[in-house]
Amino acid sequence: MTDHYDAIIVGGRNAGASLAIRLARQNLKIFLIDRAHFPSLPQVPSSPFIHAGTMRLLEELGFDEKEYTYPDGIITEHALSFVGHFQVFMPTERMNIDRNYGYGLTEIASIRRSGCVQRRA
């Protein structure tokens, strides 16, 4: 028996995975392959956050926010720190985006709960 695919997608990150979903919704048989394990840090730089733009894409693809979020992972403030030089806190409500929050991945939320991540007082 020979397998037949309408499309073969090499690379299962954001672009490849969302393309596979869109094509599969058109009743095409898709083969998606990626050589990496996810997450694949440090080889491939990646953000441990789900930003508003990503949330819009996931919504467009039919995913409900409850399917990809971790209850304790909500982020309402970003911090930029250059140790020994300066530290800046940016509340998401002041970023002029459609959602005033984002989400950290499960591991980040767990680290925050453990007390390893310090929040601004």
Q: Are residues 53 and 15 in the same domain?
A: no
Q: What is the pTM of this model?
A: 0.60
Q: Are residues 60 and 100 in the same domain?
A: yes
Structure token digits, residue 121? 């007082």
Q: Are residues 19 and 74 in the same domain?
A: no
pLDDT tens per residue across span 13-28: 788 989 999 999 999 9
Q: Are residues 87 and 65 in the same domain?
A: yes
Phi, psi of 88, rounded to the nearest 5 degrees: -125, 135
pLDDT tens per residue across span 26-82: 999 999 998 876 656 666 666 677 888 888 888 988 888 888 887 778 888 877 888
Round the CA-based radius of gyration of the chain to a whole number and report it.
Answer: 18
**Cα 23 to Cα 105: distance, rounded to the nearest angstrom:** 27
**Cα 10 to Cα 71: distance, rounded to the nearest angstrom:** 32
Q: Are residues 119 and 102 in the same domain?
A: yes
Q: Are residues 61 and 38 in the same domain?
A: no
The boundaries of the domain holding residue 26 are 1-46
Q: Are residues 42 and 20 in the same domain?
A: yes
Q: Total structural domains in the chain?
A: 2
Phi, psi of 22, rounded to the nearest 5 degrees: -60, -45
